[in-house]
Amino acid sequence: MAETVRPIHPLTTDEAWEFTASRASATTFFFDFDGVLSPVTDDPDASQPVPEVLGVLERLADAVARVAIVSARPVSFLRSRFSSLDNVDLHGLYGLEVWHDGQVVTEPAALDYVPAMAALADQARTELPADILVEYKRLSVAVHYRTAPDHGPTVERWAHEQAERLGLRTQRGRMVVELKPPVDQDKGMVITEGVRNAGCAWYFGDDMSDIKAFDALRAREAVDPAFFGMAVAVANPETGAEVSSAADLTLESPDAVAAFLTEGLRRF
């Protein structure tokens, strides 16, 4: 049987789904969590997947080679939201933690920073304004100013100073700055490794860190003429056009993501 010819960007969603269905056994779907599978909330602990997500991810995992969630959240959080899905891999903290085949694997180089992160979270709660939310993630600290946007410059400056002092890295997101270990790991690296043996892959993201994942799909296409990647942005007013302009397709909300997947699965 002749190999299906990879479609050329830009293409219609019908073309993308038809090709994906023809490569289902070699296809991986990757999703960010916040803003993609769940609406962004003022309280990160309150975030939940939209109601249709669990069912559609379960059906998708049965239809393709692999489904994975790649998030800034810790694996423990992702497990609390997706524990019913046995066949979905979870990459937490930009890939510093991975849940696969029933166990968590943590990047060894990051473990040395656990005490420093705990101390940094305490320091943030003491030094920053009381309406700033400090999220301690064991291997990183996220400082949210969503409910107090006027404090954004203060948070940014404080995070930069601490990164310089402790030799950490910063990751900016939607009304948040995260401090994390100086370990080479990001969403782009997760996708680069994840598509190494794939024939087709989709990535759904909404934030600046997701652009690296989009770039990883493009890089794979550049070196493998048989590989097809589809970058999907979920629109929001906080990242503006930058994420959407880097994607092949833009959807309007997590509910739209669930509906889009439901419709696409009819091709399989």
3-class secondary structure, 55:
helix
Other C-beta atoms closer than 10 Å to the C-beta of 235 total 17
Does residue 255 have an active-site annotation? Answer: no
Tell me which residue of 78, 186, 93 sits closest to 138, measured CA to CA.
93
State the Rg of the chain over Cα: 19
C-alpha–C-alpha distance, residues 84 and 57, integer Å: 11
Distance CA 232, CA 176 (A): 22
User: Helices 53-63 and 254-264 meet at what angle, rounded to 10?
Assistant: 40
Fill in the amino acid letter for 28. Answer: T
What is the 8-class DSSP label of residue 75? H
Active-site option among 32, 89, 207, 248: 32
Q: Quick one: CA torsion of 28, 210, 37, 202, rounded to 10 degrees?
A: -20
Alpha carbon distance 104, 228 (integer Å)? 30
Contact between 71 and 91 (Cβ < 8 Å): yes
Residues identified as active-site: 32
